[in-house]
Amino acid sequence: MTEENVEIVRRFAECWVRSDWDGMNRLVDPDVELHATVGGVQEGRVRRGIDEIREDYEADEETWEEHDIEIERLIDAGDRVVIFQHESMRGKTSGIDVESDLAVLVDLRDGRIVRVQGYIDRAAALEAAGVPAT
């Protein structure tokens, strides 16, 4: 099942990059939770269901003139998969460029994504997934 989980998360990440909400909806549990990034300014905030996640994401995107996500690596952790990604953004009003190397921990149950948690610290994401740092 773990190869299947990695493929599900790969498809989810590709949908996220394209803002393909219909594609994501087919991969997530109806009660999926998106937890704000650990170490981020909204840490502790939780969005539930694909509609709430989409609304929040689209509102956040309004602050960026450009926002690119590059999926670098997927790490199998059984019922969990860690995504290493690189993000680059340019502020719409400030024009400031921001680049970050982040991680996302994705939990799956019965072939569906049930929880997504971002991490500023990649080593912390690996630790949370029970994977030795590489």
Q: What's the number of CA atoms in the CB half-sphere (13 Å) around residue 97?
A: 3
- Would you say residue 88 lies in a domain? yes
Q: How many domains does the chain have?
A: 1
The reply to whether 134 falls in a domain is no
pLDDT at 82: 97
pLDDT confidence band for 134 (50 / 70 / 90): low
**Domain with 121 in it:** 2-129
Residue 37 lies in a domain: yes
- The pLDDT, as a whole number, for residue 61 is 77
**Does 28 fall in a domain?**
yes
Instruction: Find the mean pLDDT for residues 78-86.
Output: 96
Is residue 39 scored above 80 in pLDDT?
A: no
Residues 6+ positions from 17 with CB-CB distance below 8 Å: 69, 71
* pLDDT above 60: residue 1: no
Decide if 120 is inside a domain: yes
Q: Do the domain assignments include residue 121?
A: yes
The three-point CA angle 85-60-28 to 5° equals: 60
The domain that contains 73 carries what CATH number? 3.10.450.50
